[in-house]
Structure 1
Amino acid sequence: MDESMAGAARHALNLELPAPPLALLQMAALLAEPSCDIDALADIIETDMALSAALLRTVNSAFFKLSGRVQTVREAITYLGYREVGSITLQNGLRAAFPPAPELESLWQRSTERSRWMGAVAQALGFDAWAAHSAGLFEECGKALLFRHATSAYRSIWQQAPTDDAALVLHEMQAFGASHDILGAALCETWGLQAAAAHSVRCHVAMHATLALSGPVGHRRIAAVSVLAHHATKPAHELERCIESIAQQLELPSARIRAAIPSPRARAETST
């Protein structure tokens, strides 16, 4: 399904994409720049009291284990760095756009873990870490859109293929005429994310299944990190096949890709 078909499907479903707060649009544009003005980032986040409060609540949680309590957005950036603060703010904004539900809690947890992993691997490879992080965060958001649109019907569909996105896409198309990968990409574009992130979200189901990357080189790099994230917890021989395929398509040494992937222990520590 192309973008025009996705738009037609959204219209037929009467499915509205949640609009992002203005601060998130401004933040996404700033973080997409080659360099980030930290004071400008703090000023943008501080214009939205709800985002600022959610950021400080998250930063002061047990996960980050900071020695003292962070009082301001600028302090959070000093402790964690601009990209981590940007990612937390984006995560909180995205979650706030949807009603709470047990199914979505597990989705957001996976999204947070995946986005951190993808951002770290992209940075190690010299790719656009913010685009990779954003792609990882939004990869499953189309499921949240369909869940919000038709909760009972989508819950039933989701339960039929909870871990097989390729099968889930077929069920979604049969039921709604639209699938979560295409709708997720549309949300990426509405929220001002980079084209490479939207492309990764749009194509991730097919690329995870086939390992075949598409698009210009910048898009393929972000998509490659998504494919690596999908295969990182699979048996070693499947991950190795994925690494070799990605290396060949991006014309990179496979050893470089292998070295960028955190060990299973490191990945577990990041997600706890």
Structure 2
Amino acid sequence: MSPQITIDDLIRRIGELPPMPQVAQRALDLIRDPKSDMADVAKILAMDEAMTSLVLRWANSAYYGLKYPVSTVHQAVTYLGYRTLHSLILAASVASFLERPAPGYALERGELWRHSIAVAAGARLIAADFGQKVSEEAYHAGLLCDIGKLALEILLRNTNTEQPDWQGQPFNELEIAHFGIDHAALGAELGRRWRLPGPLVDAIANHHHPSQANEGAILAAAVHLADAVAMSLGIGLGKDGLQYTVDPVAVERMNWNDKKFNEISERILPFVEEADEFIRARRFKA
């Protein structure tokens, strides 16, 4: 651990990150509230016209495979359901948070966002056999699984990861060996501060080692495999993507095979493309 920066400093660094955007916090409140209705959704979307546009574009993407295009939020709810729509709103609302560059991980502006969207979309598909509630929770966990990188990357900026002692092991294990903590644990701490449900926090903390997860075991396995898919596609690869080991427990737990890998790889790409367009549109508007 660097003598200048301690683990406590990193925890404080998480606290210094901007709080979750107001619209995202409201989206989380919707997800927690089983009594939420269309009026609640409309209030959130009214806060950001670009978000509404992205939600509808995502709904019409090849990822969902709808037979007929949707042009209104009401139609999106009808075809996709509230849980899925809430997830899309949450993703769009944290875009400004996740699009930040993370130079310590060699991630340029927007790359962490692209990776997070790819993992979220993949995790949802992988967890589909466990029902919509679980698959949407997997989406949330995938979306936020690497949020801790925004804090830990400040240590990596001044670290030569080309040295031999940074080779030969999964990158998160090397983070622990050198700094005493990894980005997953930092992300879980941020999740607790955001009052995320326990299974989500557990999944974020253990998405590199799903065999160690408890209440979020299914979510962690889905995110872990989706993370591997995104890395294999070169989406948000960065430094750590070059040393990614797939946990056999996740493979067994989710009945993972080459056919599923190929299917997930193909289906998430349109989702990521729309996410790219959303960021470009926001920058142009700004």
TM over 0.5: yes
Q: Which residue of 2 aligns with 1:202?
A: 205
Q: Is the 8 A contact 2:123 2:139 kept in 1?
A: yes
How many angstroms apart in 2 are the aligned matches of 1:241 and 1:151?
A: 29
Give the one of 134, 140, 149 matched to 1:143: 149
Q: CA deviation at 1:96?
A: 0.6
Distance 1:243 1:168, change over 3 A: closer
SS in 1 for 2:125: helix
CA distance in 1, matches of 2:92, 2:25: 14
1:89-114 superposed Cα distances (whole Å, 9 cap, x missing partner): 22222221256445353322222121
Structure with the larger helix share: 1
The corresponding residue for 1:39 is 38
What is the identity percentage for the equivalent residue pairs of Structure 1 and Structure 2? Answer: 21
Contact 1:42 1:74 in 2 (8 A): no
**CA shift at 1:138, angstroms?**
0.9
Mark the CA change 1:74 to 1:138 in structure 2 (over 3 Å): closer, same or farther: same
**Structure 1: distance between partners of 2:217 and 2:98:** 30
Q: TM-score, normalised by structure 2?
A: 0.64
Alpha-carbon spacing, 1:76–1:53, altered in 2? closer, same or farther (3 Å): farther
Can you list the C-alpha shifts for 1:208-246, whole angstroms capped at 9, x where unaligned?
A: 5xxx2333xx322322323443566899xx979435753
- The aligned counterpart of 1:110 is 115
In structure 2, the gaps of 5 or more residues are 1-5, 102-106, 233-244, 270-286
**Structure 1: how far apart are the matches of 2:171 and 2:60?**
29
Does 1:86 pair with 2:89?
Answer: no
Question: Do 1:24 and 1:90's aligned partners in 2 also have CA atoms closer than 8 Å?
Answer: yes
Q: Conserved in 2, the CA contact under 8 Å of 1:185 and 1:202? A: yes
Paired letter, 1:103: E
Aligned to 2:25: 25
Aligned residues: 239
Q: Secondary structure at the match of 1:263?
A: helix
CA-CA distance at 1:17 after TM superposition: 2.9
Matches within 5 A, 1:92-241: 92-98=92-98, 100-101=100-101, 103-126=108-131, 128-147=134-153, 152-153=157-158, 164-170=170-176, 173-174=178-179, 178-205=181-208, 207=209, 212-215=211-214, 218-230=215-227, 241=248
Letter in 1 for 2:196: L
Greater RCO (Cα-Cα under 8 Å, separation 6 or more): 2
C-alpha displacement at 1:36, in angstroms?
6.1
Q: 1:239 to 1:8 in 2, by over 3 A?
A: closer
Separation of aligned partners in 2, 1:242 and 1:11: 30
